[in-house]
Structure 1
Amino acid sequence: MKYPKWIIAVSVSACCTLSWAANRSQQLDSDGSADSYTTESRGEILPEVRVENGKEYLYWPGWNQSKNRKLQVRRERTTHPDAQWWPHAGLGIFMHWGIVSEFEPTGEAWAGRWTPDREKQGEFHPQQEIWDAAKTFNPVNYDPEKWMAGAKRAGFKYAVLTTKHHDGYALWDSDWALMGVRQYLDGRDLVEPFVKACRNNGLKVGFYYSGMDWYFDRDYMNFSFDPNRKMNFKGEWVKTLPKRPSKRWAAYQEYNAHQVKELIHKFDPDIWWGDGGHGMSVEEIRKLRPGIVCNNRDPGSGDHATAEGFGMSDPKFIKPIIENGWWWEVNSIIQKGSWHYDARMGEEIYPSDEVLRKFAEARCMGGNLLANIGPRPDGTYQDQVWRLFDDMELWMKTNEESVFGINGGGPWPEKCNVPITCRDRIWYFHARDHEATEKNPVILKDCAAKPKSMTLLNTGDRIPFSYKNGTLSFFIPEKRKARNITDVVKVEFGSDFDPEPFLFKHW
């Protein structure tokens, strides 16, 4: 495998030793909050390349092992014909929803895990207080049919719902969950109507399932991230915590396995989106549902990498994934706050132009965007979600060919200042409001041939361009700019242009 010059190659051998902590999840003792998925600007950042079991894996300095593994795939992906839709789908909607949404002080699921900074900022709350939100969580206005009908017209192809997050609250009527709708909502199943709404609207069904369950493990867990200080789930500093019984891990495995079986047998999901473990091995999950797509967030990994946050989906992190031949997806919040609804700022959804541009960037590199919103605790979407859906619906009417049915991506950002998606000799340039203007034109360097034609997809207008010494440049006339949604310019090349170097090899 050939890596860019900026990679320092170091060959090492590695093996995994499984202990209680490792088996539970390497993420259990690493902060998974939204704030933790950023890369500080420190100039050029060079990864280490390790050879493990005959394959090369990148490790980025400053990232813990859990974070690095989110960009790694450690098994051959599924070849089942029912799963091959996934890389072509391109766009999914992620919904973090549950008792954390009800907890008004913060929409952060990790708020119950103590850190000095979190306490200093007033963002730490004892885990028991978050669990207490189960007493008032009651989504009286929950209408997933409205959710999924809106998602469908906006162009989403699959949906992923948090059936159980790390707090342990189960959204389905489970025989095995220790805490969930059976204990607090008289068994009102919140997953079943979601699945039905997805099927009614032609969206593939995805289940987020946490292989970590802090409620199950509450008596033995240290809720402090400082290993030298111990905190119980009540937020109390203690000298010691009870020692886990020797049979605890076996009981935990059985507990998770029964929940996984319940969800798959009852609802037959298309996607298993484990987090902190799948709850069962990939092999066992595939026996239950052979055509399912599993993500990589399990020690046994899965079918695709999961870049978390737009910082982690920077091309320097993604290009090696593509070179390894792996499917990949970026999952990121598109709202203020964190993954779940934050009563303080969660009403604000990112501008439509920004979401569409991030979608184009993922497709340019042959990946999917799983865009997360956190519905309100009453079961409704924020008002701005409908603004986003309306804008996306309008955009899809004229521009969807630029993101669906593609088979390649152009040289962004190495040789072009905007992302490019391709279908053989047809290239699509995606420009935000401030791009493709007279002052900030689109520039493609080392363009191998002069285009036959160039049109603005939104209007069908011809776009003038300059092609000189292998450099292609153009801009969209001011009166033709869409402003609130991303502009797409369609460029057609002739038979003298070779598309082969730009076709995806990892699909």
Structure 2
Amino acid sequence: MEISKKLFNKTALIFVLSLATVQGAMAQQAKANKEEANRIKMEHDQIGITEDKKSGYTHTTNAGAQWFPQADFGLFIHWSIASIKEVDLSWPMMAGTQIGWTRPMPDSAMVAKFIKDGDYFAGHHCEVDNSCLTPNQYWEQAKDFNPQSYDADKWIKAAKEAGMVYAVLTTRHHDGFAMWPSRYGNFNTKNYMGGRDLVKEFVAACHKYGIKVGLYYSGPDWYFNKDYQSFMYYGVGKNYPNIPELDANLKPRTTTRTAEEKQVHYEAVAAYIKGQVQELLTNYGKVDMIWFDGSPDIPKGNPAWKNCITMEQIHQLQPGIVVSPRFFGYGDYKTFEGDKSVPTTKQDGWAELCMTSANGWGYTKSPLKTTAYMLDKLVNCRALNTNLLLNFGPDKTGVFNSQQYQRFAEIAAWMKVNGEAVRGTAAINAAEYSSVPATAKDKYRYIFLSPNAKGADAKDETITFKTTANPKNVKMLLGDTKLNYKVQNGLISVTVPGKLRSQSVGVVAIEL
């Protein structure tokens, strides 16, 4: 009796400790999710991403754009001069982000000390590895940017084999460096690399492999706007008193601009943006998507907006184009950002989640996320009518490394077996229910099993699916293996043997 009591107490203690560990992990994950959401929101505020709920704009009905809601999967490519020093694009030049993104926020006394000491990076991780850059130091990377090994054909071929339907290239990020020889501005390949057109090579590869062409373009241009903006992160100035404006050397700015000078600049911004967007939409044949990211450096309501590019002009240049909502405050689809931001409800309109394959958008030495993790995000997106735009960053020579190509190959292998579960599918209808994420297409329902670290050593799992139709056939797509199931009051219960589980996403197909 005493032994049984001790055993019970020990078991209870183990349970309590295990529960505490799980709860602790969940709390830590919730904190990470909140921190990422805060950072993304502040970045969006910095670059002027807003939502115009009064626009009345609905997504385009042009026949050439109707590929998007079932595009399923796309390749995002963040690439710029930042690859020289292997830092993320644009944001490393912005001081004070560590203050602005930190939660809980530092108190005013601490921030005042940062400012007094001239420590404008204020504990940013770049101070640890000596990678902090002023804007001018960041822009100096342009003189060393000459990607001799750039082979867009190899990129897009790998994307095609991985089942990706569209690809989006950063033609110009917030840093202002344009990846084509633009006639507008003086910070592009016209002034560097002998005028090589990196965008042209990308578009040609997309057309060759039948991949929809997407061009990323930032509304803000911190190079063009460098004499009219502060390089102190705006959230710091908003939340703390006596914050100086910083120039491109991260020194307190001593000059001020008159209202007349500012207005002349706003008109120049409008002409510059309009000219570059027109080039992108007229120089390369069919362009299927323009992925705007942020609003131009023109105050809302300023008359200079009348001379900037308009939605109507964009559709005149490319009638079948899909436009992101991050420029005008409205567009053809809803955007989610970051793998902690997978939507939690079915999307009735067009939607897309963009996320990174590593920690950061550009090329860095941080390890890649696992293929199983990426695929899990893909199927969760598709179960809610959302496309996944997965980002990879090439290095300074224009190459995806071997680990990145390994991810493409592993995704391709999964797609070869399970691709029908995400290609052209949609969320299940409101009358149906699944205990795990699921998609639908015609008479088929595809049920997704989360990756299991134990693989074939995992335990058996029972999943349920409720529908008004009767099942005709139930199987695992991997191995085309029939599964045992039972039906009661429209509820299909399927038992998946542990030996059929894998360390990647598994798919059960139900034919009705």
Q: Normalization by structure 2: what TM-score?
A: 0.77
CA distance in 1, matches of 2:392, 2:309: 27
Q: Any conservation in 1 of the 2:52–2:329 contact (CA below 8 Å)?
A: no
**Shift in Å, 1:389:** 1.4
Q: Give the 3-state SS of the residue equivalent to 1:169 in structure 2.
A: coil
Counterpart of 1:114 in structure 2 is 95
**Shift in Å, 1:172:** 0.7
CA distance in 2, matches of 1:131, 1:87: 37
**Shift in Å, 1:481:** 2.6
CA distance in 2, matches of 1:373, 1:235: 30
- Which residues in structure 2 correspond to 1:3-402 (within 5 Å)? 39-40=33-34, 69=51, 75-104=57-86, 106-115=87-96, 116-117=98-99, 119-123=122-126, 124-225=132-233, 226-227=236-237, 228-239=243-254, 241-243=256-258, 244-268=261-285, 269-277=287-295, 280-315=309-344, 318-319=345-346, 322=347, 325-335=348-358, 337-342=359-364, 344-345=365-366, 348-402=367-421
Hey, which of these two has a bigger chunk of helix by percent? 2
Q: Give the 3-state SS of the residue equivalent to 1:246 in structure 2.
A: helix
CA distance in 1, matches of 2:54, 2:138: 32
CA distance in 2, matches of 1:128, 1:62: 21
Q: 1:128 to 1:82 in 2, by over 3 A?
A: same
Task: For 1:40, give the aligned amino acid.
Answer: K
CA distance in 2, matches of 1:70, 1:470: 44
Counterpart of 1:460 in structure 2 is 480
Q: Give the 3-state SS of the residue equivalent to 2:140 in structure 1.
A: helix
Q: Any conservation in 2 of the 1:221–1:241 contact (CA below 8 Å)?
A: no
Task: For 1:425, give the aligned amino acid.
Answer: K
Q: Give the 3-state SS of the residue equivalent to 1:40 in structure 2.
A: helix
CA distance in 1, matches of 2:187, 2:334: 30
Residue by residue over 1:276-323, the C-alpha shift from the partner in whole angstroms, topping out at 9 and shown as x without a partner, is 1387221111111111110111224210111011222231xx54xx2x
Q: Any conservation in 1 of the 2:445–2:509 contact (CA below 8 Å)?
A: yes
Q: Which moved more, 1:243-252 or 1:201-210?
A: 243-252
CA distance in 1, matches of 2:166, 2:215: 11
Q: Any conservation in 2 of the 1:91–1:369 contact (CA below 8 Å)?
A: yes
Q: Any conservation in 2 of the 1:308–1:331 contact (CA below 8 Å)?
A: yes
Task: For 2:450, give the aligned amino acid.
Answer: R
- Which residues in structure 2 correspond to 1:485-500 (within 5 Å)? 485-493=504-512
Q: 1:458 to 1:338 in 2, by over 3 A?
A: same
Task: For 1:121, give the aligned amino acid.
Answer: H
Q: Give the 3-state SS of the residue equivalent to 1:427 in structure 2.
A: strand
Q: Give the 3-state SS of the residue equivalent to 2:34 in structure 1.
A: coil
Q: Rg: which structure is higher?
A: 2
**Shift in Å, 1:445:** 6.3
Residue by residue over 1:27-78, the C-alpha shift from the partner in whole angstroms, topping out at 9 and shown as x without a partner, is xxxxxxxxxx974299xx9xxxxxxxxxxxxxx9999696673999961110
Q: 1:207 to 1:69 in 2, by over 3 A?
A: same
Q: 1:442 to 1:220 in 2, by over 3 A?
A: farther
**Shift in Å, 1:417:** 4.5
Q: Any conservation in 2 of the 1:70–1:297 contact (CA below 8 Å)?
A: no
CA distance in 2, matches of 1:283, 1:385: 39
CA distance in 2, matches of 1:357, 1:207: 26
Q: 1:352 to 1:72 in 2, by over 3 A?
A: farther
Count of residues paired in the alignment: 428
CA distance in 2, matches of 1:466, 1:68: 50
Unaligned runs of 5+ in 1: 1-36, 46-59, 494-507
CA distance in 2, matches of 1:407, 1:491: 15
Q: Any conservation in 2 of the 1:73–1:303 contact (CA below 8 Å)?
A: no
Q: Give the 3-state SS of the residue equivalent to 1:230 in structure 2.
A: coil
Task: For 2:134, give the aligned amino acid.
Answer: P
Q: Any conservation in 1 of the 2:273–2:309 contact (CA below 8 Å)?
A: yes
Residue by residue over 1:348-392, the C-alpha shift from the partner in whole angstroms, topping out at 9 and shown as x without a partner, is 322111111111111111111110111111100021121111112
How big is the alpha-carbon RMSD for the aligned residues of Structure 1 and Structure 2? 3.1
Match of 2:441 among 389, 399, 423: 423
CA distance in 1, matches of 2:506, 2:464: 16
CA distance in 1, matches of 2:90, 2:402: 23
Could you list the structure 1 runs, at least 4 aligned residues long, displaced by more than 6 angstroms after superposition. 60-63, 70-73, 435-438
Q: Normalization by structure 1: what TM-score?
A: 0.77
Unaligned runs of 5+ in 2: 1-30, 100-120, 127-131, 238-242, 297-307
Counterpart of 1:31 in structure 2 is none
CA distance in 1, matches of 2:445, 2:165: 23
Q: 1:72 to 1:393 in 2, by over 3 A?
A: farther
Residue by residue over 1:467-497, the C-alpha shift from the partner in whole angstroms, topping out at 9 and shown as x without a partner, is 45665443432332332x321110123xxxx
Task: For 1:451, give the aligned amino acid.
Answer: P
**Shift in Å, 1:242:** 3.6
CA distance in 2, matches of 1:239, 1:97: 34
Q: Any conservation in 1 of the 2:379–2:437 contact (CA below 8 Å)?
A: yes
Q: Any conservation in 2 of the 1:168–1:177 contact (CA below 8 Å)?
A: no
Task: For 1:458, give the aligned amino acid.
Answer: L
**Shift in Å, 1:442:** 4.5
CA distance in 1, matches of 2:183, 2:316: 21
**Shift in Å, 1:248:** 1.4
Q: Any conservation in 1 of the 2:467–2:491 contact (CA below 8 Å)?
A: yes
Q: 1:149 to 1:455 in 2, by over 3 A?
A: same
